[in-house]
Structure 1
Amino acid sequence: MVNAIEVSDISKQFVLRHTRSIKEAVVWLVKGRKGDLSEKFHALKNVSVDVKTGETVALLGLNGSGKSTLLKHISGVMLPDTGTVRTRGRVAGLIEVGAGFHPDLSGRDNVFLNGAILGMTEQQVKDRFDDIVEFSEIGQFIDTEVKFYSSGMYLRLAFSVAVHTDPEVFLIDEILAVGDEPFQRKCIDKIQELARDGKTLVVVSHDLDLVSRICDRGILLEHGNVKFDGPIHEAVSILRA
């Protein structure tokens, strides 16, 4: 089977600053505090992962393990310091609430903006607009500027646009924790529908019961390294242990 995602030996590090301003740096030095004013944090270390078309995969790990960073590399939001990431087909998903939304535009305008960012033509957005609004359940606010939206309203509209792009690869990062319970169930049903349709899913979540229901495979990360890659129930058991 063809790979939908190929992550080859990628590494990523960030610089952590201990001070926020020149003034703080001077105070640090005057008080005789030793050491660098910054340090490097290795978020990913030579990570290689392949995801086949139609697989449902959960990226698991404790906070700081590198799972969200890996997902952002797959989405193209981040570029690795070394290594390569390749994807096949249209990639869509929810990495951050409201990502791709302009606060001063209405929900209607942002549907077209976000749709374009996700690779849809204007005509495709027009054809699916009513379905997008209906799924989001925010019809009465669709012409309101999104800066007045709650985080839950952001989620509803962002999720609805993403799933209606008909993506081959769908990425989700803890986003379902934002909405209310009825809409969460609606999102989960839609995700399971995508899985049944043979779409490739990659999910980051601390809800281990949820990922056990919707994913077949688990990739467990620890300090930027792949600790386990296999059946989801084994990955969950290792993490819980």
Structure 2
Amino acid sequence: MIRCELKNVTVDFPIHTVTSRSIKNTFISTISNGKLTNNQKFPVVKGINNISLNLKPGDRLGISGPNGSGKTTLLRTIAGIYTPTKGIINIQGRISSLLDVSFGLDPEATGLENIRMRGVLMGLKLNEIIAIEHEIAEFTELGEFINLPVRSYSSGMNMRLGFAVSTAIPSDILLLDEWLSVGDANFSKKAEIRLNNMMKKSEIVIIASHDQKFIKKTCNQFLNLSY
């Protein structure tokens, strides 16, 4: 059964190179909104603290809270990017993470080669990604640029490529950090339709956003993080 379960999950970011009275320590304490703490060995920044969730098919969780409260850290922990310092995570199902869609693109590879590499990294077999690469390439509207190295792309073109690949593969659990804005008005409209369809098809959706109206309209469960 598809599920996303967290039990008392904490993520600490250790600060190995500072002392309790250093300038750097004071700076980190300031930017982390006072979440700098000390354990027996070294100071740590609390990314998230003692979070528990139990999500099942049909659940749409909206995560809100001020900057620095841990929204993105929580999403990255669910995605497997961060390992919990404490607690247990039980994920059943394929995760699609739209946290930074252009992250990990190889600048020396072509757009088409990046489609194949990203697809394999997302769990598809090579023949499976080849079967849908034409549709992905068409969606990007990159034209002949799809056969050029990504280092020749603008930031907007990178976003289009990453978004097209990330949303072409069905997911059981969809993670979103704010609502994506990709490209010009025409492309953004097309991307919004694609993303809405992906949300409808995903069993579980987890969205971090500052937009309370959007969260209330979209979600049936809510988590408000604070410092």
TM-score under structure 2 length normalisation: 0.81
Percentage of matched positions with identical amino acids = 29
Given candidates 189, 193, 216, the residue that maps to 2:193 is 189
Which residue does the alignment assign to 1:9?
8
Structure 1 contact 97–151 (Cα < 8 Å) conserved = no
Structure 1 contact 103–147 (Cα < 8 Å) conserved = yes
Residue 160 of structure 2 corresponds to residue 156 of structure 1: yes
CA-CA distance at 1:51 after TM superposition: 1.5
> Aligned equivalents of 2:96 and 2:149: distance in 1?
23
> Aligned equivalents of 1:140 and 1:217: distance in 2?
44
1:41-63 Cα deviation digits (max 9, x unpaired): 21111110122123222221110
For 2:147, what is the secondary structure of its paired residue? coil
For 1:87, what is the secondary structure of its paired residue? strand
Structure 2 contact 96–171 (Cα < 8 Å) conserved = yes
Structure 1 contact 92–169 (Cα < 8 Å) conserved = yes
Structure 1 contact 102–110 (Cα < 8 Å) conserved = yes
The AA in structure 2 aligned to 1:146 is V
For 2:161, what is the secondary structure of its paired residue? helix
In the superposition, relative to structure 1, how do residues 183 and 212 fare at CA in structure 2: closer, same or farther (>3 Å)? farther
Structure 1 contact 132–160 (Cα < 8 Å) conserved = yes
For 1:166, what is the secondary structure of its paired residue? coil
1:192-203 aligned within 5 A:
192-203=196-207
In the superposition, relative to structure 1, how do residues 186 and 205 fare at CA in structure 2: closer, same or farther (>3 Å)? farther
1:108-187 aligned within 5 A:
108-174=112-178, 176-177=180-181, 179-187=183-191
Which residue does the alignment assign to 1:238?
none
CA-CA distance at 1:74 after TM superposition: 0.6
Structure 1 contact 112–122 (Cα < 8 Å) conserved = yes
The AA in structure 1 aligned to 2:13 is F
Structure 1 contact 60–205 (Cα < 8 Å) conserved = yes
> Aligned equivalents of 1:145 and 1:126: distance in 2?
18
In the superposition, relative to structure 1, how do residues 53 and 40 fare at CA in structure 2: closer, same or farther (>3 Å)? same
Structure 1 contact 100–113 (Cα < 8 Å) conserved = no
- 74-83 or 193-202, which moves further after superposition? 193-202
Structure 2 contact 65–226 (Cα < 8 Å) conserved = yes
Residue 43 of structure 2 corresponds to residue 43 of structure 1: no
CA-CA distance at 1:136 after TM superposition: 1.9
Runs of 4+ in structure 1 deviating by more than 4 angstroms, as ranges, are: 16-19
Structure 2 contact 3–55 (Cα < 8 Å) conserved = yes
Long gaps (5+) in structure 1: 26-35, 224-241
For 1:176, what is the secondary structure of its paired residue? coil
> Aligned equivalents of 2:56 and 2:145: distance in 1?
39
Structure 1 contact 107–146 (Cα < 8 Å) conserved = yes
CA-CA distance at 1:99 after TM superposition: 2.0
1:4-55 Cα deviation digits (max 9, x unpaired): 2111111111235787xxxx99xxxxxxxxxx9x842211111101221232
In the superposition, relative to structure 1, how do residues 3 and 166 fare at CA in structure 2: closer, same or farther (>3 Å)? closer
Q: CA RMSD in A?
A: 2.5
Which residue does the alignment assign to 1:99?
103
In the superposition, relative to structure 1, how do residues 218 and 150 fare at CA in structure 2: closer, same or farther (>3 Å)? farther
Which residue does the alignment assign to 1:239?
none
CA-CA distance at 1:222 after TM superposition: 0.9
Which residue does the alignment assign to 2:212?
208
